[in-house]
Structure 1
Amino acid sequence: MAGDDIGHQEARRLVQEGRILPLAAILDGVGQKVPGEVLEVELEFDDGTYVYELKILGRNGRVQEVEVDAPSGTILKIEDDD
């Protein structure tokens, strides 16, 4: 995904305005589908919507990239990170 990265202050404002879910809620939902250690989190604006992009070290030792719709928490994509 090649969107514009969102900074901490803007992310906080978006959460306060109810435009995106807080990171804690996203991590709870993703952790149920992709258990493991979160290595990296980015919030991006791409194609007119906000998307959380996470890199997770799975229990199998592989790193997976997970894209989540920030307003709804819906997982959009799970793929192995090369």
Structure 2
Amino acid sequence: MKTHLRKLLASFVAAALLAGGSVAAVGDDDARDHELARQALLEGRIRPLIEITAEFKAQFAGEILGVELEVEDKAGTKFVYEFKVLTPDGKLKEVEVDAKTAKILKIEDDD
């Protein structure tokens, strides 16, 4: 699946999780990732995007342009919210945040 479509789908899934809904995914991997994320949210292994976003805004200055929820391992046990942020100085950053703790894991330029 093309990167742009995958990112769009991931954003849609994250929004649906935030709203408490469900989504029919396009591919097998996407359906598996969606189900893993939904189950993790229901079990309290990850926190809702609205909670993570509030904590993220307190830690990192800038305008949030987009967010994706990604499964970081094949076992489906590690989840990361990936924020795209426009910093006050006009730089585009990609910031990975632990989906359970809201801890910033990595910050990199998003060219």
How high is the TM-score relative to the length of structure 1? 0.78
User: Does the residue aligned with 1:20 lie in a helix, a strand or coil?
Assistant: coil
User: Does the residue aligned with 2:83 lie in a helix, a strand or coil?
Assistant: strand
**In structure 2, what is the equivalent of residue 49 of structure 1?**
78
Which residue of 55, 60, 75 maps to 1:34? Answer: 60
Which residue of 44, 69, 76 maps to 2:98? Answer: 69
Asked which structure has the greater CA Rg, the reply is 2
User: Does the residue aligned with 2:106 lie in a helix, a strand or coil?
Assistant: strand
- How many residue pairs get matched? 78
Give the number of the structure with larger relative contact order, counting CA–CA contacts within 8 Å between residues 6 or more apart: 1
Following the alignment from structure 2 to structure 1, what is the Cα–Cα distance between the partners of residues 53 and 85? Answer: 11
**In structure 2, what is the equivalent of residue 58 of structure 1?**
87
Identity %: 47
Task: Report the Cα offset of residue 12 of structure 1.
Answer: 5.1
**Which is richer in strand?**
1
Following the alignment from structure 1 to structure 2, what is the Cα–Cα distance between the partners of residues 12 and 37? Answer: 27
**Which is richer in helix?**
2
**In structure 1, what is the equivalent of residue 46 of structure 2?**
20
Q: Structure 1: which 4+ aligned runs deviate by more than 2 Å?
A: 5-17
How high is the TM-score relative to the length of structure 2? 0.60
Following the alignment from structure 1 to structure 2, what is the Cα–Cα distance between the partners of residues 34 and 22? Answer: 18
Root mean square deviation of aligned Cα: 2.0
**In structure 1, what is the equivalent of residue 27 of structure 2?**
none
Corresponding letter in the other structure for 1:40: G
Corresponding letter in the other structure for 1:42: E
Following the alignment from structure 1 to structure 2, what is the Cα–Cα distance between the partners of residues 39 and 12? Answer: 23
